[in-house]
Amino acid sequence: MRITCFGGVREIGGNKILIEDSGNSLLLDFGLPMGRASAYLDMFVQLRTHSHLLDAMSLGIAPAVDGLYRHDLLKNEALVECARANGVPEEELRWYASEVRSYEEVLDAEGRPRASAVLVSHAHLDHVGQIGYLDERIPIACTPVCQTILEAIDALTIPRIDARTLSVQRRTIRERRSGSKFPGAPYVYAETVERPVIPMNEYAEIEVAGFRLRPLPVDHSLPGCCATLITTPSGKKVVYTGDLRFNGRWSLGKRSLTERLRAETKNLRPDVILTEGTRITSQSRDDENAVRAKLKEVVEGSAGTVFVDWAWKDVARFQTIAEVAKETGRILAANPKAMFVYTTLVDRYPDLFPAIPELGPVRAYLERARSMTYSPDDYKPYELGPYCEWPSELTDRIKEEWQQPASQEVRDAMAWYYGGVRAYDIRKDPSRYIVQLGFYQIQELIDLEPPPGSVYVKCATEPFSDEMKIDEQRLKAWLDRFGVESRGDEEDSLLRAHISGHASGQDLLEWIADMQPAQVIPIHTMKPEAFEGKVGKEVLYVSEGEPLEL
């Protein structure tokens, strides 16, 4: 068995792991290395659209690996010919065709793919963010809930080359028509191609690419996450943890994923465990109940509006805050993206996710946008209701009825528009609301005019880059400008109520010790040496791109 890590080595996230055994191969995640990317890129400095992968490899943001990537991104022959026809010198054509061999080239030359599938542990960007570079014939294996999250994210995402996971924007070259400014000139045309998905049901073993996979659901900050027990073609047992914690919402109560995980893996004795170690040196063990208690205390002590910032994909935190709103007699005015993700999960998995009326008093918050008049034309379908796109029949009905909706179908499609909350609603009774408000929506404070006694609570991760720290300074300036309280402790300028999506060192090491692996490979950590001497087993250190024979 050979394991090669192309990412996630001495960094947080960016996991890209290739397992090869007996002529079979499987990728474990293919994420964006966010630390590396943020060193070069920001909102306004981005990789060039039609040189995306080549630029990423040039900057070291994506590895130069043979046999994985889409041919149209590495060496589009039609694009090369267009460049040549436009007078680009032969020696400059290297910018249009990489020496890295595509999936297609390796498949043609060797008769088998470099990787036959990619196992997705969960839907966070640092684990799936570069799957868009992979050849569209490489299927994704993930849990059904993970697939639902990926579908929701894809639906809410601009279709850039790297932005979508379940589909590919395959590039071809076309010529401008006679009516254009430059008839016959080439342009890049993108065609959507769906990527195959292999569903992995929880706790059930399935064979993928010659490997037997058994997904074990884990607690993290969004649902559908799994650790996976992998049995290779030669019979080796490998555990891949993905990201996990032992103290979140899904670790508590009768349906604790963590208790089931411990029971499933106790005395498992795998040959090797590939384990995350994000917080290996941290001993903090606060749980989601502590977040809930702190937030409830803040809300009950506030005489004004309570503003809460959390990631719109963080379904666990959405549920916690909705319950706090219910317990304190307030209404949660939530971001439509958070509403869309949650209602999609409710629709497909009603046994796992309680409907919003049961969860708590939650309504969509409508920002003033475009015309600034709250016209329905100012919003995308998902900002008006639980649709990303309307079916044609529904579109026709909405055109006829939107001013005076007669049918329940139209009311449901635009439920967040008709039943949503606007800034002027909140100003009428500000102490009645908890408002989801992140840095990129902070301008809403102008319309909201928060009264004295209003409070801001950060229920999301602390800044881990210089850019995020600068953003928080700007955020604090806005809060100060509008008199919104947000006092943290002596070392923190913001009031926070948050727990990490990653296990503390103590929790993680106890779990690994109970599992009794023969070898431990730390990934997704800045401090792999912190595992040494603490698990009673052999700790192996990997170097990026260098195969490890086991």
Pairing of strands 206-208, 211-217: antiparallel
Element housing 506 (H / E)? helix 505-515
One-letter identity of residue 496: R
Same structural domain for residues 152 and 184? yes
Task: Please answer whether residues 250 and 226 qualify as being in contact, where contact means their C-beta atoms are separated by less than 8 angstroms.
Answer: no
With respect to residue 321, please indicate whether it lies within any of the assigned structural domains.
Answer: yes
Q: How many domains does the chain contain in total?
A: 3
Same domain assignment for residues 404 and 532: no
Residues 411 and 299 in one domain: no
Q: What are phi and psi of 506, to 5 degrees?
A: -65, -45
The reply to whether 83 and 220 lie within a common domain is yes
Residue 11: which of 57, 69, 60, 66 has the closest Cα? Answer: 60
- The answer to whether 156 touches 45, Cβ cutoff 8 Å, is no
Torsion of CA 258, 262, 268, 272, to 10 degrees: 50
Residues 213 and 133 in one domain: yes
DSSP class of residue 213 equals E
Q: What is each CA distance from 31 to 8, 46, 119, 277, 503, in whole angstroms?
A: 9, 17, 11, 16, 20
Q: Helices H, strands E: what count in the chain?
A: 20, 21
The domain that holds 472 is classified in CATH as 3.40.50.10710
Domain with 298, as residue range(s), is 288-365+422-481
Instruction: Quote the CA–CA distance of 120 and 116 in Å, as a whole number.
Output: 13
Do residues 204 and 238 make contact, with C-beta atoms less than 8 angstroms apart? no
Cα 531 to Cα 520: distance, rounded to the nearest angstrom: 8
User: pLDDT per position in the chain (550 positions), as tens?
Assistant: 999 999 999 999 999 999 999 999 999 999 999 999 989 998 889 999 889 999 999 999 999 999 999 999 998 888 888 888 888 999 998 888 899 999 999 999 999 999 999 999 999 999 999 999 999 999 999 999 999 999 999 888 776 666 689 998 888 888 889 888 888 888 888 888 999 999 999 999 999 999 999 999 999 999 999 999 999 999 999 999 999 999 999 998 888 999 999 999 999 999 999 999 999 998 887 889 999 999 999 999 999 999 999 999 999 999 999 999 999 999 999 999 999 999 999 999 999 999 998 998 999 999 999 999 999 999 999 999 998 888 888 898 888 888 887 788 888 999 999 999 999 999 999 999 999 999 999 999 999 999 999 999 999 877 666 777 788 889 999 999 999 998 776 666 788 888 889 999 999 999 999 999 999 999 999 999 999 988 878 999 999 999 999 9
Question: Quick one: tokens of 278?
Answer: 């994000």
Determine, yes or no, domain membership for 428: yes
Alpha helices (H) along 77-171: 77-85, 103-110, 125-128, 144-155
Rg for the chain (alpha carbons), in Å?
25
| DSSP code of residue 47 | -
Is residue 325 situated within a structural domain?
yes
Mark whether 349 and 239 lie in a shared domain: no
Query: Do 529 and 414 fall into the same domain?
Result: no
Whether 197 is in a domain gets the answer: yes
Q: Give whole-number Cα distances, 524 to 57, 280, 367, in Å.
A: 20, 10, 37
> Residues 177, 74: one domain?
yes
Of 123, 148, 155, nearest to 387 (Cα)? 155
Together in a domain, 92 and 197: yes
Residue 487 lies in a domain: no
Domain-located, residue 492: no
Phi, then psi, of 475 in degrees rounded to 5: -55, -45
3-state secondary structure 376-418: HHHCCHHHHCCCCCCCHHHHHHHHHHCCCCCCHHHHHHCHHHH
Q: What length does the chain have?
A: 550
276 close to 528: Cβ distance less than 8 angstroms? no
Q: Are 484 and 336 in contact (CB under 8 A)?
A: no
Kindly state whether residue 59 falls inside one of the protein's structural domains.
yes
Question: What is the DSSP secondary structure assignment for residue 67, as one 8-state letter?
Answer: T
In a shared domain, residues 319 and 190:
no
Reported as half-sphere exposure (CB side, CA atoms, 13 A), residue 74 has a value of 23
Q: Residue 139: inside a domain, yes or no?
A: yes
* Same domain for 477 and 440: yes
Q: Are 54 and 95 in contact (CB under 8 A)?
A: yes
Tell me the whole-structure pTM to 2 decimals. Answer: 0.93
**Which DSSP category does 425 fall into?**
H
**Whole-angstrom Cα distance, residue 288 to residue 249?**
6
User: Which residues are CB-contacts of 396 (< 8 A; sequence separation ≥ 6)?
Assistant: none
Q: What is the CATH number of the domain that holds 91?
A: 3.60.15.10
Same domain, 201 and 301: no
| Helical H segments across 129-250, by residue range | 144-155
**Residue/partner pairs of 86-92 with CB below 8 Å, 24 or more apart:** none
Residue 204's beta-bridge partner residues? none
